Structure 1
Amino acid sequence: MKPATGTPRTVIVGGGLAGLELARKLEMYGVGDVLVLESGARTELRHVNMTGTGDDALRLWLAPDTDSTFHRPWTSLTPPHYAGASGVRRRLGGRSLYWYGVTLPLENWALAEPHWPRSVVSDLTESWEGGSPLYDRVGQELRAWQGVDGAAEDTEVKFAGTVLRATPRARRPSRDVPGRWYAYSPLEAWRDGETGTGTREPEGIRFLTGVTAVRVKVDNGICRGVVIRPVEPESGPETVVAADRVVLCAGTVESTRLAIQALVDCDRGRRPRLGRLADHIVQGVFLRLEGDEAARLIEALPPGSYMAPGPQEARSNLFVDVHLRPLGDVLLEVRAMGEQMPCDESYVECVPGPVYPWPVRVSSAPSVHDRDLLARQQHLLTEYLAAVCELLGVPAAPLSFADYDRPARGNDCALPEAVDAMTVNTPVTWCNSVGTEDHEGGTLPLGDILDDDHQFHAVRGLYAAGPATFPRLGAANPSLTTLALAHRLARKLARPGATSGTGSAPCA
């Protein structure tokens, strides 16, 4: 892929899942003059499961201090939340080169008015541009990429009294290395996922890597472009990239930082803070099995990933994963992933000053509603594990959950050395602090900060994509919705006369 030269019409800030999918669809619609800005490098364009062993990939994800691309451009005011393993991956491809490929639509109880705009709900679930809805279209594209018809995802199995189905995942097995796989990345449009080598040059899409988006250039409520500078050295010269329109896809916290700066530039009396920051709340149990118990588990539930929706009042999905380990023992993982409710007390805040980018502070902790969710998840996990133990003939043991704000263990206890140290037939509970599930969003919601077309009300020509735009996260992993909304935005930007920052508009 060639480096950027010249002046673009559209600038996409962020080369992760949302930004690259938007670029890919704009290319499909024949939109030229698109520049993708990415702070990381483009030296390795393969999924982490293709660059090392499964354990190597797991370590990069769960122990990010071992990953040279890991970076946290904010300070947490509420550790352990948005601290520790919370951060971004500075590389072209971003989290699309780490994720497990889970593709679930948002639940009806979350994807609904008055939280989401009616037009967005309809496009995702009912009909888009006179045809099938976006969820169906994106799902079909991903299945075509995989070379499957989706029948495997419809397989159901009853285990421990609960009907489970295979977790839908957009993944391909390696052609050359047994046991390895890679999840979908929009980079697939231009490079081979197995080798990382380029397959063709993007048409009308250029990439500029190793640069920080310092701020959005705003003039009288109109976006005029982006100010950038090299990541290394940080004191490098700033450059103005003029553009008709800019789309923020830099991850929720970084996109919010750029948005706050632009909104305050437009209205100096505005508070430099945006609330409604949310992530998924996850608690789980590991159970290591050997011998007859392991054999009974494999017979009842073959190795793989399964899921079932939890009760609506728990705002959570239940996931059950069975891992066959190298020495023949089996690791059963049961976890509940639920929605942190958006609220103004969970926020991203900037500290204004004469030098950009402004320092960023993040504050987030479970609310009263979230404490109720934690209790319901624990009840769900306790009841389900008791049913599992009864089925497998394992002595039932009471589950002990640590204080969520002072966790004893995170999901890094899935690392091989931690599993080896687990006592057989003894459950081990864990939880993820808020911000470490890497599903954060909600600060730039459609229908509020953004209009239904993904454009900022207060800054004409400035748009956003990714989970930051979700008014509610729901319990589902955000990737399918991220891809679907990127398709929706690309179509809007491709239309003749699509809004850009070339007119005049007052500051809001």
Structure 2
Amino acid sequence: MGIYRTLADQLKASGIQDTTFSIDAIGNRICSSWETVNAANESQRFDVVVVGAGMFGAYCAEKLFRRDTSKKLKILVLDAGAFFLPTHVNNLPLGGMPDGVVWARPWTGEAPFVTDGNKRALAFCIGGRSLFWAGWSPELMPDDLARWPADIRRFLASAEGYDYTATEIGSNQTTDFIAKTDTYKKLDKALRAAAKKKISDVAQIDLVGEAPLAVMGSRPTPGIFPFDQYSSATFLIDAISQDLRESKDQPRDRHLMLLPRAEVIGLKRDDKQAVTSVDLEVRGDAKTLRLGPNTTVILANGTVEATRLALAHLDIGRQASGRPKVGNFMTHMGNSTIVRIRRSALGLGKPNQSENEVAAFIARGKAYGRRFHYQIVAASLREDVKQQTPWDFVMRLTPDIDQLDKLMSGHDPQWISVVFRGIAEMEDDRSLGAADAWRNSISLEQGGDRAYVKLSPSPNDNLLWNALDDVAIGLAKQLAGSPKNIQYRVNNDWQATQPTEPDHSDIGTIYHEGGTLFMGKVKESITDTNGKFHHLPNVYVAGPAVFPTLGSANPSLTGLTLARRTGDAILVARGIKPPKPRRRPPAA
């Protein structure tokens, strides 16, 4: 008998799925079947059920498991998607992933938010968008947080707030893998000088710094390896693996289980408003997960989908046109300006063909009383590849020296290309008054419970959006010093004249939705500052849906930090004291 048959028999005996091309060892180990989950739940009800295993749900579940000092909580994570990748796509030696495999838009609504541009609205897989995000993780500035609850502002500024999360995901490390290059040093000096000059009549840059990238570029402590680019899937996989070891693979002794391909269709409540059961479709089949009297539910399946469940099943929202509706729906407005600047204008000599000439910065500013920021990435590109941009050179695994040499060869001897990716917040609207007055909102589709979304920029939003364009062009011109030293990228080619039309991202394509289930005081908000619905005893929200205002920064760092706070609040409510953060040695 050949080795194939021997190994196939071993796989069959172990219960691991063997596909035509691969062995699904990781998915088989960390995921559980409905039969196993239901049997464990019938033996002893789960204490916490997390809906959604994406950026915030997987992280919150992992924190509940790790920080449960009682070692008694039973946690179940549900996700509508399958297990797809074990880590961030940039940590894998892959040239790209096929579209249409995990991405989908399960809601309907009005343009401009619902357009062909944002078909890839949600990643239905374990880890969700955290497997694909760019990794920029800036903190919200004090101006961004001005209208947030005071206790949240204090928490974010404490040792348990931003600092803890940023240390964990790597975004507060110095970017030595970029900052040690001559390209970075010269651009850093030039950007700081440019930011001090008048760039626009309505806006100004007030901070330039290292890019806060969620990539562990060096060890956080001696004795372990860097973690690479952050994804929540990695954390969840490791926590479930620990649970399997400690439980000796016995389902009745498990404390953290993951059920994939399980879409939450409905939530049932009792007369005290507690959720008592969860209606699911598991691989398309209807199932019901019964909850115990002390079970806590966390909605972490994205702003739109969490809001849909709240509208359809949790008595959230005001009636408008015969259907429940909530306002304060926001996302980020974005633009992209790509230029190339003569190396000589930046003080750079001929390209170093043995060095990957890349630099990344964050630049923050203010216009019309509101914040914005730029993700600035620069790189020396190859002369013979027109479709390349500096984004192609940041935080991607390069598996061997041959590929590295190819990447760094043929650097353009005259130009450095620079991308200014601007991000600014939309206006909030936290009025709990007449629903018909809300400009941006989420409701239910007429006659059903699919989400119906409405989101468009206001006149004030458009002013801020236009300021993003002005400041990016102004910064680029200041860096160049002279029109002869700058060219602009238009339609995949370079031209000497400034583009007449700004390159604005379609609304919704930055995937930073939030705000609809915003936190605050009773009668002034939907949830409290722990993310719990005011009127429900056992349902919480994790993710940017609870943000009162969106702020100008990517929501990931803030959302992760608040998800851990929500997990700790659930532990404390159960009489469990989570550990305090410890002082850590500086990174090696």
What TM-score bracket applies, with the shorter chain setting the length? 0.7 to 0.9
Aligned residue for 1:315, secondary structure, equals strand
Aligned AA (2:373) = N
Unaligned segments of structure 2, at least 5 residues: 1-29, 196-206, 220-225, 246-253, 382-406, 430-437, 577-588
Matching residue's letter, 1:111: L
Q: Distance in 2 between matches of 1:181 and 1:141?
A: 9
In structure 2, relative to structure 1, the CA distance for the partners of 1:94 and 1:395 (3 Å cut) is closer
Following TM superposition, by how much is the alpha carbon of 1:237 offset from its aligned partner in structure 2, in angstroms?
Answer: 2.0
- In structure 1, the residue corresponding to 2:494 is in which secondary structure? coil
- What residue number does 2:78 align with? 37
**Residue type matched to 1:75 in 2?**
T
The question of 1:309 aligning with 2:309 is answered no
Once residues 151 and 481 of structure 2 are traced to their aligned partners in structure 1, the CA distance between those partners, rounded to angstroms, is 48
Please give the secondary structure, in 1, of the residue aligned with 2:314. helix
Q: In structure 2, give the amino acid aligned to 1:321.
A: V
1:350 pairs with 2:444: yes
Q: CA RMSD in A?
A: 3.7
Conservation of the 8 A alpha-carbon contact between 2:60 and 2:563: yes
Q: Secondary structure at the match of 1:11?
A: strand
- Per-residue CA deviation, residues 205-262 of structure 1 (Å, 9 max, x unaligned), is 11010011112222232222321113x43xx323234251211000111011011112
Whole-Å Cα distance in 1 between the matches of residues 276 and 317 of structure 2? 13
Per the alignment, residue 87 of structure 2 pairs with 46
1:353-389 alpha-carbon deviations (Å, 9 max, x no partner):
4x6xx12211110012202211222221231122133
**Greater mean deviation of Cα atoms: 207-216 or 340-349:** 340-349
Which residue is 1:506 aligned to?
none
**Counterparts of 1:287 and 1:323 in 2: how far apart (Å)?**
11
Q: Distance in 1 between matches of 2:563 and 2:350?
A: 39
Instruction: Spell out the pairing of 1:409-448 with structure 2 (5 A cutoff).
Output: 421-423=492-494, 429-447=502-520, 448=525
Summarize the Cα distance change of 1:495–1:192 in structure 2 as closer, same or farther, 3 Å threshold. closer
1:135-179 CA distance string (max 9 Å, x none) = 122223334xx895778899982324136322111214699xxxx
Structure 2 Cα separation of the partners of residues 379 and 265 of structure 1: 41
Quote the Cα distance in structure 1 between the aligned partners of 2:165 and 2:327: 30
Identity percentage of aligned residues: 25
Q: In structure 2, what is the equivalent of residue 229 of structure 1?
A: 281
State the match for 1:328 in structure 2: 411
Unaligned runs of 5+ in 1: 61-65, 400-412, 500-508
3-state SS of the aligned residue for 1:122?
Answer: helix
> Residue 432 of structure 1: SS of its match in structure 2?
coil
Q: Per the alignment, in what secondary structure is the counterpart of residue 20 of structure 1?
A: helix
* Corresponding residue SS for 2:509: coil
- Name the residue aligned to 1:285: 337
What are the residue-to-residue correspondences of 1:132-211 with 2, within 5 Å? 132-143=159-170, 148=173, 157-160=188-191, 161-162=194-195, 164-172=208-216, 182-189=228-235, 191=237, 201=244, 204-211=255-262
Structure 1 position 239 matched with structure 2 position 266: no
Q: Tell me if structure 1 keeps the 8 A contact 2:360–2:376.
A: yes
- Residue correspondence of structure 1 range 78-89 to structure 2 within 5 A: 78-79=111-112, 81=114, 83-86=116-119, 87-89=121-123
Q: Is the 8 A contact 1:264 1:271 kept in 2?
A: no
Q: Secondary structure at the match of 2:464?
A: helix
1:78–1:362 contact (8 Å) kept in structure 2: no
Q: Is the 8 A contact 1:386 1:396 kept in 2?
A: no
User: Conserved in 2, the CA contact under 8 Å of 1:337 and 1:475?
Assistant: yes
Q: Is 2:318–2:324's contact at 8 Å kept on the other side of the alignment?
A: no
Specify the SS of the correspondent of 2:209. Answer: strand
- Per the TM alignment, residue 29 of structure 1 is displaced from its structure 2 partner at its CA by 2.0
* 1:99 counterpart = 2:185: no
Amino acid corresponding to residue 375 of structure 2 in structure 1 = F
Question: Shift of residue 431 of structure 1?
Answer: 1.4
What letter is aligned with 2:548? P
- 1:462 and 1:298 map into 2 onto residues whose CA distance is 60
SS of structure 2 residue aligned to 1:490: helix
The question of 1:256 aligning with 2:307 is answered yes
Contact 1:76 1:83 in 2 (8 A): no
- Structure 1 contact 308–318 (Cα < 8 Å) conserved: yes
Q: How many residues align?
A: 449
Q: Give, as a single letter, the amino acid of the residue that structure 1 aligns with 2:96.
A: D
Conserved? CA contact 1:290–1:328, under 8 Å: no
Equivalent residue for 1:374?
465
In the other structure, the counterpart of 2:96 is 56
Q: Which has the larger radius of gyration?
A: 2
